[in-house]
Structure 1
Amino acid sequence: MVSLSEIQGLLSPVLTPLSRGYSALMSRRARRYAMGECEQFRPACPCLSVGNIGSGGSGKTPLADWLLKWADIQELSVVLLTRGYGAKPPHLPYVVGPHSPASESGDEPLMLARENPDARVVVDPVRKRSGAWASEEFSPDLVILDDGFQHMAVKRDMDFVLLTPDDLKDGWDRVIPRGTWREGKDALRRADVFFVKSGAESFKSMAGLVKDRLGPFGRPVFQFSLRAVGLKLLGGGDRLEFGSGKYVLFSGIGNPQMLVADAREYMGREPEKFIVFRDHHAYTDRDVEDIRRQAATLGAKRIICTPKDAVKLAGLGCDDFYVIDLEVEFLEALFFDGTAPLPFDKWWNLERLLNSSQQKEN
């Protein structure tokens, strides 16, 4: 089967001019916001944006989750504003609770709300509206703007911009429809911090490329990855070892092939079958029956999915399914200001957040 990137390459003579036109439109839009020509909401507290230049697979939700947990440790009241892709809330703005239906909240907001019960996760595609409402309702100490790099209607103090290794390689500066980027490379000048989702060794091997691509912007670049620490039953219980028995893997995420590679490493063997659903897929009883049937046919005793899939399986009788228990891990970094690089979790602190807010005000 021909991949999307191969199709885009074949159609490059047609798509490249369209890509340049789209990039120019996005640049003009960014200038209008920068010049104050478009209405914006400014939270009274510090505001962080977690976003990306491309689409999907950059680890945006795990990083947002890490920041919510960090804020909780700092005893900060935090609101996360998200559009809630695929959500159909009964009203807007909509505060996601740990027991909200995934159909109302969206899968990623529900996952964040369950993992961070003291945070307010607010769904609304109009985030300047939800930001104003949440500020009045909750008086937060920190606002996190989910998928916010292109969402300029909410002013932020720092832009955290995430990239994948492909963004730095073949995907560099390939804007929709020629590639997956939402803006051209000049947009990266707005970034305050860069993150690259990759393994530590892979990041070190790309150091020269990272310097060439991102060094001119003069911002710190942090590597992070998702470390699998075990399996958990959806029905609850202690963390389990991975083991090496037969298993079936399924997912409805943005970059499924990365999951296969990770699962192979964790389990020590290939899955008997990898069942791929579209990103943000809403699972049904029929899907579950089909997954069980395929696992039984192949003699696989474990059926494994991701945390993002797990939140959409409530009420479908999947307590015996397993979810991969993941932790965000920061190991490597590149700085371009002459200081010694530190991993993000050693570099980031409350003082740095507050200083960034004061600098923007001044």
Structure 2
Amino acid sequence: MLFKAQKILSPILAPISKGYGAVMARRADKYSSGEYERFRPECPCISVGNIGSGGSGKTPIADWLLKWAEREGLLTVLLTRGYGAKPAQLPYLVNILSPVHEAGDEPLMLANSNSQAKVVVDPVRKRSGAWAEQEFKPGLMLLDDGFQHMAVERDLDFVLLTPDDFTHGWDKVIPRGTWRESVQALQRADVFFVKSSPDAFRRMHWLIQEKLAQLGKPVFQFELKAKGLRLLGGGERLDFGSEKYLLFAGIGKPEILREDAGKDMGRAPEEFIIFKDHHAYTAQDVESIRKKAAATGAKRIVCTPKDAVKLTELGCEDFYVIDLEVEFKETIFFDDTEDAPFDKWWNKQRLTDALKK
């Protein structure tokens, strides 16, 4: 619906979008020239962000990097604004006991799955960065959703794109489209990621070449693969089974979840309930979900990890959570680098090399 409206109103929205893109470009120039103050971490810093809005997979990539850093013995701080969070104080250090309304759903999810990392919520990330550096002396700092947040200097910009970004969404800046900056901003990127299946990525190969070849930066495909289910109340990973199920989610681009769940579970859900992204679940929501599951004969109620962190105090221990893992397979290099998926290409030396730029 939104896309159709933007297309119809394109002649009116185009000049507004052009003006917005110009404002963002001037802002970036002021940061790069030193006119605007920036915080420079003493440790290596990676930004994980995107050019558009929502649904590109920033949180799973940040989670993968946190786990990689722990394996490498690097204490990592992740700086996030914590969308929708209402912290008791700022900066706010998230832990597994943090109330979700204080921490935010994605920060709490990252803290729960990366107990050794320090997840810090604060909309002013140069403040939280300075505080975290003094408190923890980290070996690595990550900026969540940081591509447009230039008040913190970074050594690498990881920029995520969706398949839509390469087609009807290409260089369509707010309000004409979903992009936060114009296409020239992609020149700041060091690594690109595309969230898609390997087959879809291969079909897009020519389009990626056309759009990104002149930038000369590697492009890595990734997807979230469901490995099974877990009870929200805890326990081992379970097989998907063949029982009827109800699916619900409050995430960006839920239609992709429905399609993937149908493949993984071997059948479509009896009911798919969509809540707005970052939805704060209530007891009434849970009651409604249970009633719809009973009415449709669904034996299992299934949600995502992002939803699960907001349901722990609502008596949902019998709900099932999709157990997701990031998988990398395809890649495009625009030089003579030997093809390798991101998890084989990325290493500590590449992080060290970034500091020499």
Give the shorter-chain TM-score range.
over 0.9
The equivalent of 1:205 in structure 2 is 203
Match of 1:32? 30
1:332 to 330, 334, 342: 330
Q: C-alpha separation between the residues in 1 aligned to 2:281 and 2:117?
A: 26
Q: Is 1:267 aligned with 2:300? A: no
Map of 1:193-232 to 2, 5 A cutoff?
193-232=191-230
Tell whether 2:103 aligns with 1:80. no
Matches within 5 A, 1:1-362: 3-359=1-357
The separation in 2 between residues aligned to 1:253 and 1:292, in whole angstroms, is 20
Offset of residue 356 of structure 1? 0.4
Q: CA deviation at 1:358?
A: 2.5
Measure how far apart 1:196 and its partner are. Answer: 0.3
> For 1:5 and 1:73, how far apart are their aligned partners in 2?
42
Deviation string for 1:269-294 (max 9, x for gaps)?
A: 11111101000000000000000000
SS in structure 2 at match of 1:58: coil
Equivalences, count: 357
Shift, 1:47, TM fit: 0.2
User: Secondary structure, in 3 states, of the residue corresponding to 1:325?
Assistant: strand
User: Shift in Å at residue 139 of structure 1?
Assistant: 0.4
CA deviation after TM superposition for structure 1 residue 357, in Å? 1.3
Deviation of the 1:304 alpha carbon = 0.4
Map Cα deviations across residues 218-254 of structure 1 (whole Å, 9 max, x no partner): 0000000001100000011111111222111000001
In 2, distance between residues paired with 1:30 and 1:90?
32
What amino acid is the match of 1:272? E
Letter of the 1:249 partner, please give it: L
Deviation at 1:168? 0.8
**Paired residue secondary structure (1:170):** coil
Deviation of 1:86 after TM superposition, in Å, equals: 0.2
Q: State how far apart, in whole Å, the 2-side matches of 1:69 and 1:315 are.
A: 27
Query: Any gaps of 5 or more consecutive residues in structure 2?
Result: none
Q: Measure the CA separation in 1 of the matches of 2:230 and 2:320.
A: 5
- Secondary structure of the residue that 1:260 maps to in structure 2? helix
Give the secondary-structure state (helix, strand or coil) at the position aligned to 2:160: strand
User: Structure 1 residue 10: deviation in Å?
Assistant: 1.0
Q: Distance in 2 between matches of 1:341 and 1:37?
A: 40
Residues of 1 paired with 2:79 and 2:352: CA distance? 20
Q: Which amino acid aligns with 1:240?
A: L
Indicate the percent of aligned positions where both proteins have the same amino acid: 66
State the alpha-carbon separation in 1 of the partners of residues 355 and 61 from structure 2. Answer: 20
RMSD: 0.6
One-letter amino acid of the structure 2 residue matched with residue 80 of structure 1? L
Partners of 2:188 and 2:34 in 1: CA distance: 15
Structure 1 segments, 4+ long, off by >2 Å, are: none
What do residues 98-118 of structure 1 show as CA deviations (whole Å, max 9, x unaligned)? 111100000000000000000
Counterpart Cα distance in 1 of 2:113 and 2:355: 27
Aligned-residue offset at 1:259: 0.4
Question: What's the CA shift for 1:169?
Answer: 1.0
SS in 1 for 2:240: coil
* Cα deviation 1:152-204 (Å, max 9, x = unaligned): 00000000000000001110001000000000000000000000000001000
How far apart, CA to CA, are the structure 2 residues paired with 1:48 and 1:234? 32
TM-score (structure 2 length as normaliser) = 0.99
1:341 Cα deviation after fit: 1.8
Give the letter for the 1:227 counterpart.
K
Give the counterpart letter for 1:193 in structure 2: V
Matched AA of 2:198: A
